[in-house]
Amino acid sequence: MVFVTPELIKSYKNNALSSYYSKMRSLNFANMRQYDNIYDHDPLSMGDRIQCLYVGSFQDIRIRNPKYLFEVVRETSDDIFFHFIISTWDKECSDLKDIYLEGVSNVMFYDRVSLDEAQFFIRSADILINVGNNAGNQTPCKVVDYISAGKPIVNFYEISDDTSKILLERYPYALNLKQGTYSAKQAALKLQSFCRCNLYRRVDYQSLRSLYPEYDSSSIVEKFIHDIDSYLNIN
């Protein structure tokens, strides 16, 4: 028996690994965790402005392209501030930052931080920003971490089967912005409206566990044991 993520098991069904498909079982990683909202100070404080946060990497433009996000940020009004904690840049993504965000006053970039620090920033943010992967066979674990925080999420994506978009369709306070559907100015207006309308909205953790049981550790353990028992009984 082999446990793989639900996205991968779909892709394996019709490729060279299909001969092992009967032995595969889908199982998510237990990424859900409960955030508390207690912290000594607000590291993102910028006065009365709404604080948007992106945490992640832009290490390969073929996998995650920030161009559309940067275009939208440039068109967004100054009452919304964007914080970018970037662990890794590739040159093309870094060049896009210089092209689109040079001189933009409502943006701040940070270097790599520890996991604890990243989660501290997430607790402090008002709105969380995600950029989807250009691959339909993996869901970024960061999206589940964002969901765990219970805060409004804006997802920028390119492909129609974007796994982040599919996951966030269940989330009460999510805005999915597809590149090519809206111009940067149109998307900026939608983002501004979403941020202002949902600034103080939160989803409690018990509701999140009900919405996403497949990422809850207790549900995953139960499924793991059930699948093993079923497999042993069959074989």
State percent of the chain over pLDDT 70. 86
Residue ranges in the chain whose pLDDT is less than 50: 38, 40-41
CA angle 41, 46, 52 (to 5 degrees): 90
Q: 129: domain range?
A: 50-210
Is 92 found in the same domain as 18?
no
Q: Are 153 and 173 in contact (CB under 8 A)?
A: yes
pLDDT at position 18: 72
In a domain, 229, yes or no: no
Is 143 found in the same domain as 79?
yes
In a domain, 226, yes or no: no
The CATH number for 180's domain is 3.40.50.2000
pLDDT at position 48: 84
Is 92 found in the same domain as 23?
no
Is 17 found in the same domain as 91?
no
Residue 76: CB atoms within 10 Å: 23
Q: Are 177 and 187 in contact (CB under 8 A)?
A: yes
pLDDT at position 63: 86
CA 120, chain centre distance (Å) = 16
**Cα torsion through 139, 143, 145, 149, rounded to 10:** -150
Is 129 found in the same domain as 15?
no
Read off the pLDDT of residues 63-93 as tens digits, 9 standing for 90 and up.
899 999 999 999 999 999 999 999 888 899 9
Nearest to 119, CA basis, from 43, 29, 45, 195: 43
Is 71 found in the same domain as 5?
no
Read off the pLDDT of residues 115-147 as tens digits, 9 standing for 90 and up.
888 888 998 899 999 999 887 667 778 899 999
pLDDT at position 40: 47
